[in-house]
Amino acid sequence: MENLSLPCPFLNNVHLSEKTYYQIGGKARLFALPESVRHIGDLLCWNRIHQFPLALMGMGSNTLFSSEPFEGIVISFENMNRMFWISEHELFCEAGVENGAISEELLNKERGGGEWLYRLPGQIGSTVRMNARCFGGEIADVTSGIMTASISGALRWHRPDEVFLGYKNTSIMDRSEIVVAVVLSFSAVKKHDEIQDLMESFEKERFDKHHFDYPSCGSTFKNNYEVGQSSGRIFEALGFKGVREGGAQVSPYHANFIYNTGGATSSDVLRLAAKMKTVAATAIPAKLDLEVQCIGLHPKILLEACGVPFVPDRVDDEMGWAGMFWLPHAEEAKSTLHDHHPELLLYGPLTNYSDESLSFPGGLFVSVEQLLSLDDAVCDPEQPFLRWSTIAVDASVFARLPGAAIGDNGFTDELWQYSVSELFLGHGEAEKEYVEFEMTPDGGWVALKFSHRRKRANGFEIPVQEPWERHTTRFHDPNRFGMTFSYSLLEPFIVDRTLAMQCAASIGESRYGLFPWWKSPIGTPDFHQPDRYYRVQLG
């Protein structure tokens, strides 16, 4: 078997039963452990060439991985766990932050509204993806923004109303998008003891209901509120408490939980769930949908019985693929990469450079759009190819403007002294060339080229506008400003249809912002770290 190396930390031949909360799952050929959003982009670019099936894993607390071997890549978020405050009440969390860690952070900050997350198994990315709820709390109620990555690596910010569709349902559950980060909002100030008492009461209720006696996925089925009673009550009335199928058993205490009492396989769980669903449909009748997410290769007869959508396997007619992030042969995945233009490659908020300060203001967004397909751009290389925009809800955050110091046609050397938005484009490697563009809301701009980190390229030691003028256009008003760039300008930096980019801002008074964010930036802010720039695929 070919030895492969992924562009992020990874393991070979991992037994998923040792990684999932349910302790069920076969052996995965490759187990990716990205530590940053940059790693996510690099992995998706790599897989565009190598074409492995992709599956996503949080803690596996609401997922049933197949017990069959998986000849693909499982992407785990356990090492994407950066959490930091971006304002007095907004908490930025990477996808791998555990729910319990969030509740404990809120306890330390004396912020109410997240007590119900305590001892809720899972990571925040999955919690948002399924719009989890319990004890009267729902993640939609405390979410102010969601960041996703598409199969092409495009990073996009979503408002809550674009994602949450109601009870345990979101718009991204059935799309090839990864939740990579979320912003949660907790405005209620609450006493430490009150928060702790509520957290402990929720924990006690979980223990009283025997949630932790054996591994499980929590509620196996969603509630159907048209029936007038919970799924657990329905299955209890139908006599399912304690019913077994192999190593899987319906909890004797909560009839909507299926335990792994030891050695249960994914098929054991699905056979038991199929019986429960079928009996409820005929005896009540009640249509109940699985809440647990099935992932991997399962018998089609069991997926059909449980109402789980799947893609037929190409080799074994009796098997089907469920819950995959991406399958090379799936009809749904056919050419999902940038099938129309303009295409949004990056869109999101600039956040604090580091965790050390809350000084960077909210309401500053940046975007990068691809205006033409690569094929069209090659045919007409002087047309605008990329458009970079900075959007300011409050334009006054750019307080230091060059004004009368703006040069001819706006080109202004030493623009770094003012409040500027910045864009870096390059190969994404420390010792290779890259370019930097800076711009102010009043139309000041400058362009710089570097042969490697902070080293001006030969012939570009002194900034002049002539090499850039015919390849760029500028636009500006008080709340939105930016530039476009031709393909011929960017072509030297495009490799294997990918381009590395980084948005940043320096607005004065030691306030620095980044998008995408970096893993644990420390020390004096320095945007000239091209090996951290985010690599995105171009279509």
At 82-101, the pLDDT tens digits run 999 999 999 999 999 999 99
Closest CA to 295 of 328, 320, 329: 320
Q: Average pLDDT, stretch 441-463? A: 94
DSSP for 294-356, written as a single string: EEEEEEHHHHHHHT---EE-SS-TTEEEES-SB-TT-GGGTT-S--SSSEEEEEEE-EESSTT
Residue type, 50: H
d(CA 41, CA 366): 18
> Confidence band (pLDDT; 50, 70, 90) for 6?
very high
How confident is the model over 138-163, as pLDDT tens digits?
999 999 999 999 999 999 999 999 99
Token pair of 436 as six digits: 């930097």
Pairing of strands 133-134, 83-85: unpaired
Distance between the two ends of the chain, CA-based, in angstroms? Answer: 31
HEC letters along 517-533: CCCCCCCCCCCCCHHHC
> What integer pLDDT is reported at residue 357 of this predicted model?
62
> What integer pLDDT is reported at residue 195 of this predicted model?
97
> What integer pLDDT is reported at residue 334 of this predicted model?
47
pLDDT of 17 > 80? The answer is: yes
Pairing of strands 319-322, 293-299: antiparallel
* Active-site residue identified among 291, 422, 436, 438: 291
d(CA 450, CA 456): 4
Residue 219: active-site member: yes
> Confidence band (pLDDT; 50, 70, 90) for 2?
low
> Confidence band (pLDDT; 50, 70, 90) for 458?
very high
Domains of the chain: 83-196 (3.30.465.10), 343-537 (2.60.40.1190)
How confident is the model over 320-373, as pLDDT tens digits?
999 999 999 774 444 444 458 999 999 999 999 987 667 788 899 999 999 999
d(CA 436, CA 447): 6
* Active-site residue identified among 36, 76, 150, 219: 219
Q: Cis (ω within 30 of 0) for the bond into 521?
A: no
How confident is the model over 257-300, as pLDDT tens digits?
999 999 999 999 999 999 999 999 999 999 999 999 999 999 99
d(CA 510, CA 118): 36
Residue 205: active-site member: no
Q: What is the CA radius of gyration of the chain?
A: 25
Token pair of 89 as six digits: 């009440």
> Confidence band (pLDDT; 50, 70, 90) for 174?
confident
What is the reported pTM?
0.94
Q: Average pLDDT, stretch 206-225? A: 92
Angle at 131 between CA 95 and CA 22, to 5 degrees: 70
Closest CA to 281 of 242, 243, 224, 322: 224
